[in-house]
Chain A
Amino acid sequence: MFSRINPGLLINLQSTFGRDCNPFLGTFLQSVRWARKPIWAPVAKSKLFRIPERKKLPEDEALELRRLYNEYRTHCKAVRQLICKEYAASVEESPSVINSRIDDDLSQAIKLNEEWNKEVAAIREERLTLEAEIEREKNLQYMIRAEQENEEQIKLLDEIVKAEKEKSTTFITPDNLDEAIEFALANPVDYNFAIDLKGNIVYGRKGKFEEVLMKQVEELNEKQVAASSS
């Protein structure tokens, strides 16, 4: 690119216009490109096959320019590399750094979690002791109730046994069997009864209503006598 441009002109322009005309930015060409004809216009017909004569520089000047350019390019390259390196370092972290950060993060999270778990363990312990206490109380109540029920049952059974023992005195045994038979024969029991429309009951197969009526009349008389005497 630079070989086709007069370096002397370049240097002059650069010193005159500053960085706007820096040949490395390409703006130098822009600033003068339409001075004569548009950039896309082809080479004029009359100049199409012209081979411009290569400009000759004095040898010492050429050497000096080469030296200056070499130096300049070296400096530029160094600065560029430095900037690139710094940028890469700022943007990207090495895998080891990333890994260590992840590990730190994880260990921090685990630490936080352990603290949390300890708190929760304390809460749970408290809850479990409370629940155990309630359960114990419930069991105790249950036992007391069961004992009470047991005692009541025993008492009930005792009473039954006592009653049965009392009754056992009237039981018919082989010893008093004959007496019982005689007693039964002597005192026949008749469960039959009759009832009239007024509700008078006559017991026994051979009972008579007249007897019942007579009995009622007697009772009434007795009551009247008792009332008059008092």
Chain B
Amino acid sequence: MPFMKGNAPIRRTLKYLEAGKLVFKEGVKIFSINYNTSGPHHKGARDFVFWYVPQIQYKNPEVQVITFKNMTPSPFIRCFLDSGKELLVDIDSRSKEEVHSHIRRVLCKTDEQLAQEAVAMEKKDNPANFGKGYARSCICEIPGQVPCPGVVPLPNHMRGKFKHADNS
């Protein structure tokens, strides 16, 4: 594959990797896929590996993603869970889109879960947040910020009593 020819190189773009929808549930620890490099009934598996494995690995850095080539008569996906169980998905003669949607339904977090986690992550991540439930309860805890008027009165030039005082 040439470096920048055809549509395959978009797999290497950050935008494509981030657009991946396959974020596995907590329990999934190993994702393995067996397929052959030839044969029409391996086509979907080949395409799945080609197009979606980069996204999977990007979105699931804690999961071991492993592919086995030319070791099986019919293609399949095998996931190992932390409970010791394993999930075998037969992908014989299936297109990559079908496999994608099935994996998303069976092994991945739902959109709602992802949205919730994104919100929680953003809250935790952003050091600018303050208030209840964050690292600091008030912006006045930062050195250099104006202290809360509940603790120390505001400087006079910020107080209406002085700003709007009738000096006549």
Residues of B within 8 A of A34 (CB): 153
Q: Does A214 contact B (CB under 8 A)?
A: no
CA distance A40 to B149 in the complex (A): 12
Contact count A vs B, C-beta below 8 Å: 47
Fill in one digit per residue for A103-117: 1 if any B CB lies within 8 Å of its CB, else 0.
001100110110011
- List CB contacts (< 8 Å) of B25-83 with chain A: 25, 27, 41, 74, 81, 83
Q: Does A120 contact B (CB under 8 A)?
A: yes
CA distance A39 to B148 in the complex (A): 14
Partner of A109, one of B74, B87, B150, B152: B87
Contact at A40–B87, with CB atoms within 8 Å? Answer: no
Q: Does B157 contact A (CB under 8 A)?
A: no
Q: Does A150 contact B (CB under 8 A)?
A: no
| Stretch of A9-17, A121-129, A169-177 at the chain-chain interface | A121-129
CA distance A116 to B81 in the complex (A): 19
Residues of B within 8 A of A102 (CB): 27
Interface of B is mostly: loop
Contact at B90–A116, with CB atoms within 8 Å? Answer: yes
Name which of B25, B88, B89, B90 has the most chain A CB atoms within 10 A of its CB.
B90
Contact at A109–B106, with CB atoms within 8 Å? Answer: yes
Q: Does B22 contact A (CB under 8 A)?
A: no
CB distance from A102 to the nearest CB of B (A): 7
Fill in one digit per residue for A16-44: 1 if any B CB lies within 8 Å of its CB, else 0.
00000000000000100010001110000
Complex A-B: 14 CB contacts under 8 Å: A106-B83, A106-B85, A109-B87, A109-B106, A110-B87, A112-B105, A112-B106, A113-B89, A120-B91, A120-B92, A120-B93, A124-B74, A124-B93, A127-B92
Q: Hey, which bits of chain B sit against chain A, CB under 8 A?
A: 25, 27, 41, 74, 81, 83, 85, 87-94, 102, 105-107, 150, 152-153
